[in-house]
Chain A
Amino acid sequence: MIKALNSLWRWAPLLFCSTAFTTEVIPTESISNIQNALEEVKTACNAKKASCNTASSEVSGNPPCSIIADSGCMKLWNSSNDGFLESSFGLIQVGKSKKSGLSTAQRLDIEAWINSQPNLPKDLLEKIKPILQRLKLLLAYETNTMEWHQQMGTMLQLLKQTVDTVGGERAKAALPELNQTEDASISIEQRNKSLETLLDFQNQLIRAKYENHPNWKRVETAFKQAKNDLIATCQELSIPNSIKKKFLAKLKSIKLSLPFPDPRNISAPSTCTSTEQNAFYFPNANLFTVCAGMFNTFQSEPNLYSVIAHELSHAIDPEVFIQDDYKQSPIGQVIEKLSSSKKPPFSCDEWQQLRDGTLAPIKEIIEPLNPYTKLTDCLAPPLEPLRPFNSKNINPISKRYAATAINQYANANIFSLLVQAKTTNIDKVSDNEFYMRPDRAQALMTGGLINPQKNYLSAIPATFTQSLTCQQAEQDGKKVDFEHATGKIRQDMFEKAIFESREIQQIVYESIFSRCGKECAGLVGEDLSRNAQENFADWMASQALPHYLKREKSLEKRRELLSIATLSHCNENPNAKMIDTDLNEIEKKFSFDRHPDNRIRRLSFFTPEVAKTVGCEIDNEIKRGFGECSF
């Protein structure tokens, strides 16, 4: 313990060769860490009943790992740096401009606009050139006055409006029919085409700003390194070969994408293209992105490396891995076929066979065995013993979820819309373009795009249409289908088709739950599972990290690199300083939030292998994290 304290004072300033321990600016979490270390020393001294000499000159050995874990954040957020940090591994600029209070993320995004001019489409450039010139001047003459901010705000609004106007013109040009006909007579396919033109235009702008930007190029470099290291890590894992093979195939096929807000691609939120400090993995497309706010402010490869290694790990996290298995299963394939069809894809005989087989209710749900259990039990132990995983507990939940899904379509009158051959607009009767067209009806629920991505989890309009097409009943001594049925018989058929859709959706949920078991994110609130997805991604990233660290020869540099790699897990929120971090950590266990407490995330990077690589001692603080878990 004496050694721990001595090392604390001895090593911490060395990490960045600066005044990292200016007490008035140390975040509460770090103060509590130091207090804990002091407490440990006091207890040890009392136990030994000996005097404790804390002179650092007499101490040799390794510093406690928690000191390295906290040192970067303390340095980044001390009063002199205030969110800006320059090291041999790059620049971090998560703070605000002292002159205007503008965030660096915002400033860098505006600069990217200004620098993108040679790559912008001519029609847009013509209109926004004066705005960009004005923005450039505003950045050159920053002040913290209301007037400056008014001008900045006006210019940003004008830029957004002009981009929207040009995008709108492009979308309109893709629909020459629009000028000749009334808006209401434009078909959903035409609208889809217009929407796709608009999305293509938005993607073009993101490419113009960032495709060749040095900050994005850094992401590409870090991606290659993180991907190779994760592949190497996977090969070292003690897991069955069959699973290892799947892990490797999945990791090898994952792709990086610019942050396009495009549902056909990665569907990033629009703020991800400008200032949002985040990163996302999209399981449907096996793609991931890093938002502009993150790669602009973290111009440091080790930081991007750890963020990217985390995102890549989601490709094989417990839920995604098990969902991949579901997607390949007969039921996943049937749902995908239904959801991508323009009309019922199965003959009525085939449908009946499916209802008796693949789409039949699951007789008994039992807890599945999966390769993650030992690891995830360690990564995310449940607060209380989980309820038994069986049909009795899973059936009602699946039914409730299916009812909620059907409710969304019923609220939007999708089922009625699908069965009406004609539609009335004021006094004009015309063909209903949604009549028995589940793909078009689904597009109404997803912003107008027709089948932007494959869907394995839900095909409600298609299931309904398939079910209705295959129904027959006796009316006036004759067998009739829905089209020829009338009155009560017709109503019963309609209702039965909605019921059948709900039943199939319930079977889909049961099929997924019976695969993911205790790893199902959707069952966390039901005391049937715990969510280990985020901890797993952090854990995998920490397993890959030694590969990266070992490329650095000097021990000092490795330590600096590691503390920088974990800087995205600093708690810069000023409100958080008012929160007791020990209690916050306990409180987080009761939250459904998938991401654990920031400090725990930082501490968890210190696996035994990482500690060995950077020559630090795993202390009690580090043991609060999950770095020591294993498969």
Chain B
Amino acid sequence: MQLLIQFFKVFIFVGIVTFHNPQVGFAATQIPIPKSYVLVQIHGKYAIQTTKIFNYKKKWICQTEDLPYFEAKKNPLEEIHWTDLKSEIKNQHSENCRDHVLLQDRRTKPFKMVTGCLSSAEIKKTIEEINKLCGRF
């Protein structure tokens, strides 16, 4: 009887684990490596934060140093208004800057690029939106 109870305990435990095991039923698809992407980098005091944004099978994917594959709910690139960013940087005194930002569209030739300071309003807004959409909460 004790053995039977033990058997059921193990059966139930295995059943729960199998049910909850996220691997079950997964076809193992490797995460994609982007060939061309939009690069967003913040050069901080101690480390560089990098986000690569690319399109894969009609989905917008973000790759960060924290999450190698993150499906964004909507296209994060819609948050990058290149013209506004460029005009803001023109009027900015970037020498008084703590964290430097690099935005680079590596899908175009030559690369489209904006560099500036994280503290400037338009750049801060852009980075915050990209972070939100790319899983940096």
Interface residues of A (CB under 8 A from B): 96, 100-103, 105-106, 134, 137-138, 141, 143-153, 156-157, 159-160, 270-271, 274-279, 293-294, 307, 401, 404, 407, 521-526, 531, 534, 568-569, 572-573, 592-595
Chain B residues, CB < 8 A from A156: 67, 135, 137
Q: Quick check: B31 and A144 within 8 Å, CB to CB? A: yes
Q: Quick check: B46 and A277 within 8 Å, CB to CB? A: yes
Interface residues of B (CB under 8 A from A): 20-23, 26-32, 43-49, 65-71, 73, 91, 93-98, 100, 128, 131-132, 135-137
Q: Quick check: B68 and A276 within 8 Å, CB to CB? A: no
- Distance of A157 Cα from B74 Cα, bound (Å): 12
Q: Quick check: B28 and A147 within 8 Å, CB to CB? A: yes
Q: Quick check: B67 and A271 within 8 Å, CB to CB? A: no
Q: Quick check: B46 and A278 within 8 Å, CB to CB? A: yes
Q: Given A102-B67, A270-B128, A277-B47, is A524 in contact with B29 using a C-beta cutoff of 8 Å? A: no
Nearest neighbor of B46 in chain A, beta-carbon distance:
A568
Q: Quick check: A153 and B69 within 8 Å, CB to CB? A: yes
Nearest neighbor of B97 in chain A, beta-carbon distance:
A592
Chain B residues, CB < 8 A from A526: 95
Chain B residues, CB < 8 A from A521: 95-96
Q: Quick check: A524 and B95 within 8 Å, CB to CB? A: yes
A274 in complex: contacting residue of B69, B128, B136, CB < 8 Å = B136
Best-buried of B65, B70, B131 by chain A (most CB within 10 Å) = B65
- Distance of A160 Cα from B134 Cα, bound (Å): 12
A–B Cβ pairs within 8 angstroms, 27 of them: A102-B66, A102-B67, A102-B68, A103-B67, A137-B22, A143-B23, A143-B26, A144-B31, A145-B29, A147-B29, A153-B70, A156-B137, A157-B73, A270-B128, A270-B137, A271-B49, A274-B137, A277-B46, A278-B45, A404-B91, A404-B93, A522-B93, A522-B95, A523-B95, A534-B45, A568-B46, A594-B97
Q: Quick check: B95 and A525 within 8 Å, CB to CB? A: yes
Main secondary structure of the interface of B (DSSP, over half): loop
- Distance of A569 Cα from B97 Cα, bound (Å): 20
- Distance of A153 Cα from B131 Cα, bound (Å): 13
Chain A residues, CB < 8 A from B21: 137, 141
Q: Quick check: B26 and A145 within 8 Å, CB to CB? A: yes
- Distance of A88 Cα from B29 Cα, bound (Å): 40
Nearest neighbor of A526 in chain B, beta-carbon distance:
B95
Best-buried of A96, A134, A159, A277 by chain B (most CB within 10 Å) = A277
Chain A residues, CB < 8 A from B44: 276-278
Chain A residues, CB < 8 A from B47: 276-278, 293, 572
Nearest neighbor of B64 in chain A, beta-carbon distance:
A103
Q: Given A138-B22, A141-B21, A294-B46, is A149 in contact with B69 using a C-beta cutoff of 8 Å? A: yes
A101 in complex: contacting residue of B23, B31, B46, CB < 8 Å = B31
Chain A residues, CB < 8 A from B43: 593
